[in-house]
Amino acid sequence: MARPWNFSAGPSVLPETVLQQAAAEMLDWQGSGMSVMEMSHRGRQFVQICDEAEADLRELMNIPADYAVMFMQGGGLGENAIVPMNLIGRRGAPMADFVVTGHWSTRSHKEAGRYGDVHIAASSALPTEIDGSARNAFTYVQAVSSWQVRPEASYLHLCSNETIGGVEFTEWPDLAELGAPDVSLVVDASSHFLSRPLDVTRCGLLFAGAQKNAGPAGVTVVIARRDLLGKSLPICPSAFDYANVAAEHSRYNTPPTFSIYVAGLVYKWLKAQGGVAAIEAANKAKADLLYGYLDASGFYRNPVDPAVRSRMNVPFVLADESLNDAFLKGAEAAGLLALKGHKSVGGMRASIYNAMPLAGVQALVDYMQEFERRHG
């Protein structure tokens, strides 16, 4: 069976070898006589799987010992509540600041408002002009030097890759330079996790749903500096209290065992590719190919400020929107799946995560060229 090219924003394409290994081990994991799905989460086999996944992730991301690694449930939206319940009151009055650069950080800001006093430190919700070019809402990031962070806040939240808008941070702010040295940085890295080196020591907490670059849906990775834990709000469910989860090595309650196992296989695949630096080089080549084509074409257009274009999620529009349906229909017939843009922005979006090979992006560009030739 030839697999189509899957450009879904998540859940999304997984490495074929990972799927093959999971299939081969489905009924009998390494002579245990059990599927991973059937194992006790406290039994020695699953403990080995879980601890190995954590060790591989620590190695891939250079996560130091003073950071806890937790495999949790609830996804990115769950973390939008779990983070404030754990951190917003850590310095006394519950206060948190937000950089709003798109759909996901907007949702994070809104959810955190249920738990304390929230403030927008910077926003790209309004159109602006950058370097002489007009930019629509959520297609740029305000210069870091203009961010207004409250020094008393418990944390500053940003979404380092806005999956819908296709806006990616290439660096994170130095909060001391912004006059807020005691504010911890919280990063939603869901859609570019493990796609490029991310320095966790620059932040207090980083979270990512696995279902894009790092495994199947069901598991959310949280990496948090240990000294921030143990100060949750009284309403925080004990199963979502990071202090409990970290103390029990992600086995305070029953974790999503099968998802953790498959995520662990993805980590091993990534190590075999040469690690995060190697995958970054591959991701850069794929993004360069697609953006290069988009920029050279008058038929398609990417609306994002080139300084913050995402290497993972590439939104684009056709100059003639009445051709959208024909574009998508033809793409599907050519084996190019899930290119429809998010309903809030329309147009198209190609998500080109770690497991999408260069050949898939080339197939997309070939199709786009052919479509332009026929309709341009």
> Which tokens is 52 given?
């190995």
30 annotated as a binding-site residue: no
155 backbone dihedrals φ, ψ, rounded to 5°: -155, 165
5 annotated as a binding-site residue: no
Beta carbon of residue 132, minimum distance to ligand PMP (angstroms, whole number): 30
254 annotated as a binding-site residue: yes
x-marked contacts with ligand PMP along 16-55 as a string, rule CB under 6 A: ----------------------------------------
x-marked contacts with ligand PMP along 149-178 as a string, rule CB under 6 A: ----------x---x---------------
Q: Which of 104, 231, 305, 340 is catalytic?
A: 104
211 annotated as a binding-site residue: yes
Distant-in-sequence, close-in-space partners of 39: CB < 8 Å, separation ≥ 6: 29, 32, 45, 46, 257
The region of 112-120, 165-173, 186-194, 367-375 touching ligand PMP under the rule CB under 6 A is: 186-194
Q: State the Cα–Cα distance between residues 172 and 13, nearest whole angstrom.
A: 28
187 backbone dihedrals φ, ψ, rounded to 5°: -120, 125
Q: Which of 97, 212, 241, 269 is catalytic?
A: 212
Q: State the Cα–Cα distance between residues 50 and 302, nearest whole angstrom.
A: 40
The yes-or-no answer on residue 182 being catalytic is no
x-marked contacts with ligand PMP along 67-86 as a string, rule CB under 6 A: --------xxxx--------
**Smaller CB distance to ligand PMP: residue 186 or 368?**
186
**Smaller CB distance to ligand PMP: residue 74 or 204?**
74
Beta carbon of residue 50, minimum distance to ligand PMP (angstroms, whole number): 20
The yes-or-no answer on residue 212 being catalytic is yes
> Which tokens is 198 given?
């991310």
Beta carbon of residue 163, minimum distance to ligand PMP (angstroms, whole number): 3
x-marked contacts with ligand PMP along 96-125 as a string, rule CB under 6 A: --------x---------------------
Mapping DSSP onto H, E and C, the string for the chain reads CCCCEECCCCCCCCCHHHHHHHHHCCCCCCCCCCCHHHCCCCCHHHHHHHHHHHHHHHHHHCCCCCEEEEEECCHHHHHHHHHHHHHCCCCCCCEEEEEECCHHHHHHHHHHCCCCEEEEEEECCCCEEECCEEECCCCCCCCHHHCCCCCCCCEEEEECEECCCCEECCCCCCCCCCCCCCCEEEEECCCCCCCCCCCHHHCCEEEEECCCCCCCCCCEEEEEEHHHCCCCCCCCCHHHCHHHHHHCCCCCCCCCHHHHHHHHHHHHHHHHCCHHHHHHHHHHHHHHHHHHHHHHCCCEECCCCHHHECCCEEEEEECCHHHHHHHHHHHHHCCEECCECCCCCCCEEEECCCCCCHHHHHHHHHHHHHHHHHHC
Beta carbon of residue 222, minimum distance to ligand PMP (angstroms, whole number): 13
Quick check: 341 binds ligand PMP (CB under 6 A)?
A: no
The region of 47-55, 109-117, 185-193, 250-258 touching ligand PMP under the rule CB under 6 A is: 185-193
253 annotated as a binding-site residue: yes
The region of 184-192, 233-241, 291-299, 358-366 touching ligand PMP under the rule CB under 6 A is: 184-192
Beta carbon of residue 1, minimum distance to ligand PMP (angstroms, whole number): 28
101 annotated as a binding-site residue: no
Q: Which of 191, 195, 283, 302 binds ligand PMP (CB under 6 A)?
A: 191
29 annotated as a binding-site residue: no
The residues of the shown chain that bind ligand PMP, judged by CB under 6 A, are 10, 75-78, 104, 159, 163, 188, 190-191, 209
Catalytic residues: 104, 188, 212
Please state the residue numbers annotated as binding site.
42, 104, 163, 188, 211, 253-254
Please state the residue numbers annotated as binding site for pyridoxal 5'-phosphate.
104, 163, 188, 211, 253-254
